[in-house]
Amino acid sequence: DGGITQSPKYLFRKEGQNVTLSCEQNLNHDAMYWYRQDPGQGLRLIYYSQIVNDFQKGDIAEGYSVSREKKESFPLTVTSAQKNPTAFYLCASRLIVGARGNQPQHFGDGTRLSIL
Amino acid sequence: QQQVKQSPQSLIVQKGGISIINCAYENTAFDYFPWYQQFPGKGPALLIAIRPDVSEKKEGRFTISFNKSAKQFSLHIMDSQPGDSATYFCAASRKGGGNKLTFGTGTQLKVEL
């Protein structure tokens, strides 16, 4: 089945450690997005990418980094510079090329990151 | 300019009743307004979406009402069922700039028997 796979489902980070969250999609979507979800704050955009080897900062990019070496993959690294990383991280993708009208973003089932 | 305000924060409805969630936006450049449904531990799933050239869109028990002059839109869930108990998010985006979504803060809906 086509979809967006995020792994791991749960992740624990020690102080001062970088961790990488995986996001893979087999929907042949062009754009991919990373959001952070905190209780009572909705979803906030961290980074997004519309094509391979290109990405842009979202509203809360500080302390995060991404890469887009392949169309189907958009990993997110939470660096030690992110002082409050505990959150639910969601990856999304969207079709651009060949799309009719505005195409919606489709989400994975998230990774919950906690600090040890 | 990028904010989307959502209310209420939580809502309890009796089975068979109508659930109503409201959103207001500021940026007049927004041209796409989706609603997402999220169950605990899962990612949001698109429920229904509307563009500002129509005032209402209905899909099954779910209806979006859109008031362009007031910059408001709402989700109505008719004949609410316990299985509808979830968190609902409104969102908005505009053409260009990656079609980034700006989300409301969410409404936690509980449908009681």
Residues from chain B that touch A102, judged by Cβ atoms under 8 A, are 31-32, 49, 51, 93, 95, 99
C-alpha span between A34 and A40 (Å, rounded): 18
C-alpha span between B8 and B18 (Å, rounded): 14
β-bridge pairing B10-14 and B107-112: parallel
More confident residue, B96 or A16: A16
Among residues A23, A22, A32, A27, the alpha carbon closest in space to that of A52 is found at A32
pLDDT at A116: 83
C-alpha span between A46 and A33 (Å, rounded): 8
Residue B71 confidence class, pLDDT cut points 50, 70, 90: very high
Candidates A6, A60, A68, A102: best to mutate against B (most CBs of B within 10 A) is A102
Confidence check: pLDDT of A1 > 90: no
Question: What chain B residue is nearest to A89 in terms of C-alpha separation?
Answer: B43
β-bridge pairing A87-94 and A106-107: antiparallel
Confidence check: pLDDT of B70 > 80: yes
Confidence check: pLDDT of A16 > 70: yes
Residue type, A75: P
pLDDT in tens, A43-64: 999 999 999 999 999 999 999 9
Q: Answer yes or no: do B46 and A104 touch at CB < 8 A.
A: yes
Q: Answer yes or no: do B98 and A40 touch at CB < 8 A.
A: no
A50 and B CB contact within 8 Å: yes
C-alpha span between A20 and A80 (Å, rounded): 11
C-alpha span between B103 and B87 (Å, rounded): 13
Q: Which of B9, B34, B103 sits opposite A104 (nearest CB)?
A: B34
Q: Answer yes or no: do B46 and A44 touch at CB < 8 A.
A: no
Question: What chain A residue is nearest to B49 in terms of C-alpha separation?
Answer: A104
C-beta separation of A88 from B38 below 8 A: no
pLDDT at B2: 57
C-alpha span between A37 and A86 (Å, rounded): 10
More confident residue, A82 or A98: A82
A108 and B CB contact within 8 Å: yes
- Chain A and chain B share a number of CB contacts under 8 A equal to 59
Candidates B3, B105, B107, B108: best to mutate against A (most CBs of A within 10 A) is B105
pLDDT at B99: 81
Confidence check: pLDDT of A83 > 80: yes
How far separated are the first and last CA of chain B, in Å rounded? 40
Q: Answer yes or no: do A43 and B103 touch at CB < 8 A.
A: yes
Kindly report the nearest CA distance between residue B17 and chain A, in angstroms: 25
Confidence check: pLDDT of A24 > 90: yes
C-beta separation of A47 from A35 below 8 A: no
pLDDT in tens, A86-109: 999 999 999 887 776 778 899 999
pLDDT in tens, B5-49: 999 999 999 999 999 999 999 999 999 999 999 999 999 999 999
